[in-house]
A and B are shown apart, each in its own frame.
Chain A
């Protein structure tokens, strides 16, 4: 059974810091991995999608890497801003889409 874990569970940092969020999964037989953002009481916004054959994807200040063999992915956020405050979720795709436990991020001015 696929299990997806995210570390840390919560993170509070001052504006401007570079951040690393971690995601680990137990079964490496995945099609892809996605990172999402969820604001309180809202749905999910897809941030980055990494196919199983890829090692990283970049979008603006976000960079996600994937090491399938070790079952790990990291989301790097450069120069964090208060608007980045949200819960970040990773999810892996096999025949299902299984979510991690989430990282609650707060960036304060």
Chain B
């Protein structure tokens, strides 16, 4: 079964609203979680690296005030897309990395559509 749970799987929202996406590691501790964005027919683009108990590290070009990341525990990280606009519509995928093996497992993804 899935070892990383991502919720919700799909969101349709109006422009200007905020959307929260949760990522949970189910049977291992993940000191590090990664958030990716994927455009159609493209590979995964790393947005930020989330470390438990500290601030996230954002990749160049990713607005930290736009994409708020919280990693409050060893099993949960959240990504909040604030004041979403149509250009934020995309497929967002989280990954949790096992602190011992460094193996990364992925959530099933969240498809965000902003109207």
Contact = CB atoms under 8 A, between A and B. Distances in A.
B49 A95 contact: yes
Contact of B109 (A42, A97, A100, A101): A42
B104 A43 contact: no
B12 interface: no
Interface in B17-58: 34, 36, 42-44, 46, 49
B109 to A, nearest CB: 4
A64 to B, nearest CB: 14
Contact of A31 (B43, B102, B107, B111): B102
Interface string A43-79: 1111001010000000000000000000000000000
Contacts, number: 52
Contact of B106 (A36, A51, A98, A102): A36
A46 B103 contact: yes
**Which of B42, B46, B101, B104 has the largest count of A CB atoms less than 10 A from its CB?**
B104
Contact of B46 (A45, A97, A100): A97
Contacts of A31: 102
Contact of B97 (A43, A45, A97): A97
29 contacts: A31-B102, A32-B102, A34-B103, A36-B106, A41-B111, A42-B108, A43-B106, A43-B107, A43-B109, A44-B44, A44-B95, A46-B104, A46-B105, A49-B101, A49-B103, A51-B102, A89-B43, A91-B104, A93-B97, A93-B104, A95-B49, A96-B34, A97-B97, A97-B104, A99-B43, A99-B44, A99-B46, A102-B42, A102-B43
Interface of A: 31-32, 34, 36, 41-46, 49, 51, 89, 91, 93, 95-102
